[in-house]
Amino acid sequence: MKYFKLISSFLTCLLFAQMSISQDFVYLENNTFKLDREDFYPVVMNYGVNFRTNGKDFWAVPAHGYGRGNDIECTGEADCLETIKADMQLLQDLGFNAIRLFNVRPHYFINGNQLAFPAFTSNSVYQNEIDIPMQPDDYSIHFKLISDVLEVVEEVGLKVIILTGGPIYDPIREEYIEALLNDFATNSTIFAYDFINEPLYEDSLVITKKDACEIVSNWRYLMDTYAPDHLLTVGFANSTEILKWDPDILPIDFASFHPYGSVESVQNEIYYYGQYITKPWIIGETGLAADDIIVSYEEQRDFAEKTLKRTINCGGNGYSWWQYQDVWWGSYGLDYIGLLNHNDITQTSDPSLTVEGTPKPAAQEFQKIGSYSPTYDCPCLSSFYNYPGYNNYIITGRLINGNTNQPIDGGLIYGWKFEIVNNNEVWTNNTKTFSKPDGTFNLHGEIMLNKLSFSAPSFDRTWQDISWNSSPINLSNGIVNIGETKTYKTSSSITASNYTVKGDGSNGGSLTLYAGRYITFNTGFSVEKGGVLIAEPKYDIGDIKVYPITCSSPLESANQSSEDNLATEILNQDEDLNTNYINLYPNPTNGIINIVSSNSSIESISVYNQNGQLVISKLNVPSNYQLDLLNQPSGMYFVVIYSGNQNYKSKFIFE
């Protein structure tokens, strides 16, 4: 897919870099967040809101479950905004300086071609939620609700990351995102937009790293065009995202990771980010559920302390906790991961604001951040290369750069058990490891894995099927003489009997055995003094090659000149509109251009004015489309269309 809109983003970025950034916006300088020219370390709480309606008016409310019971804890717009303000004040008191705002993104209405936002019709949330459809040209109600929340957050002095849900080949959602970014472009309370939450679990349309590159490049364009003072991030689930959504090559400002699990497993993940991710990164979500019965509050506090310090010492640029308060959503892991319980009342530093609930002991760790003196010591834990501790089956090999044959340090090796069950594909028993500085890896499995995937930051992905059905090896009545070396490898088993590795006391033969299942030494097997025996229960698959990859638009790859030169080059070419495939009319136009393509869809439309400036850009539009120039001044325009793997250009007069 061609993203002609990216022609303008390069120059936009350069101009933005040269501008004096408003002191009210958070920005990045030398991979460090800055605010008012001072270092800014985001300490972020994931905070959810819902929307309420009485059939006439709409207002924002704290996420259902933050109050006692699963219902909404406040009544009326003023009361609910005051409740949100009290929560914000308590967060600031606890040491937080930002929130990640979730639950605000719209979803598709029941008709499937219109966006809507959900709203509760009563404080009792059970079966009382309805969809409020939004017109493409009028998101005012929804934006007003978001604005009300931002105003409250601003009053307290916190910053906001908004989880938006970015468009993936989706023109309807793209129009919404354009309007959202444009509407809040000057709002300095927002410091970043998180365009997708954990794509590992919802990226069915993404097959390769190039696919992810094209999607995020489009988001980059939207940000540069409509919200140049805000930052762009993606909420990656964990290091496994590198198989498709590679933060090192994607055009984001910083990466947000969401590691969960035991303290040790999260520390291992943080070590990986610190060692191998070159972009600025933060912990965007993490936490440990604790009700002080099944899991103690002390365990939760210990988790917060160790993972927070680990993030700082491993070079992380920020830390976020999931989530604000215990809820009633139906699972232990979600319900008790909050930093507040539902006991008693807490008075904030503002005498007029109280909160229902009490901070758990883990909250104390966030108050200590300002006084913590980092050691920047980020050691590799002994469990790093075998998170789960499996030892039943081991697959070994070496990950290398396919261009240079040099070893790759920090490559990802991911394995599954794949089978067909009742005509359905079933992927189970997934596990992973990483390559060491010499490129070697040891993937430990609880069962025999048969599908492996390999990648690394800034490298493409490759696959390999693993068969455990090679023949067993039986060694019998044999000798390895002094100075002789013999190696036997199989994915099955090795049995040795009446077999001798000779030696003279100081020198000898060498025998190496690698078996995927087991190695058995029977009667008559011996190694004389000076001889060498290496026997390991592992399946060695040898060298695996992966190749470097970059993220750039097709136009950028073909021509690295400046935006002006690129635009001029395109516009100076002769018109090549093939009327057998694309039809544009009328010309001259009164502001509306009808575009009809014989292909099933049009992948991109770019409109340039006579100065070569990109003024309109659309992605993935229908094959019959009306292009609106009414907001542009009259004059000459150039339309560039990409459809069916071909470019088409035409000149128009807007009267």
Phi-psi region of 422 (alpha: psi -120 to 50; beta: other; left: phi over 0): left
The encoded tokens of residue 423 equal 């005509």
> What does the alpha-carbon distance between residue 503 and residue 607 come to, in Å, rounded to a whole number?
80
| Nearest of 469, 434, 462, 464 to residue 448 by alpha carbon | 469
Instruction: Kindly report the three-state secondary structure assignment for every residue of 442-467.
Output: EEEECCCCCEEEEEECCEEEEEEECC
Say if CB 398 and CB 442 are below 8 A apart. no
- In the chain, the N- to C-terminal Cα span, in Å, equals 32
Say if CB 500 and CB 479 are below 8 A apart. yes
Q: Which residues share a beta bridge with 508? A: 503
Reported confidence tier of residue 88, pLDDT bands at 50, 70, 90: very high
Model confidence at 473: pLDDT above 80: yes
Reported confidence tier of residue 7, pLDDT bands at 50, 70, 90: very low
Query: pLDDT per residue over 525-538, tens digit each?
Result: 999 999 999 998 89
CA dihedral 459, 210, 258, 252 (to 10 degrees): 100
Radius of gyration, alpha carbons of the chain: 29
Which DSSP string do the residues of 414-451 spell out, in sequence order? EEEEEEEETTEEEEEEEEEEE--TTSEEEEEESS---E
| Nearest of 503, 499, 450 to residue 475 by alpha carbon | 499
Q: Is the dihedral of CA 622, 232, 1, 17 positive or negative?
A: positive
Reported confidence tier of residue 605, pLDDT bands at 50, 70, 90: confident
Rounded to 5 degrees, what angle do the CA atoms 91, 92, 94 make?
Answer: 65
* Most distant CA atoms of the chain, gap in Å: 99
Model confidence at 340: pLDDT above 50: yes
DSSP state of 306: H
Model confidence at 16: pLDDT above 90: no
Give the pLDDT of residue 645: 60
Reported confidence tier of residue 261, pLDDT bands at 50, 70, 90: very high
> What does the alpha-carbon distance between residue 213 and residue 553 come to, in Å, rounded to a whole number?
8
- Give the pTM: 0.79
Q: What is the mean pLDDT of the chain?
A: 88
Domains of the chain (ranges, CATH numbers): 42-371 (3.20.20.80), 385-560 (no CATH), 561-654 (2.60.40.3080)
Give the pLDDT of residue 22: 59
Give the pLDDT of residue 124: 85
DSSP state of 491: S
Say if CB 72 and CB 47 are below 8 A apart. no
> What does the alpha-carbon distance between residue 265 and residue 277 come to, in Å, rounded to a whole number?
18
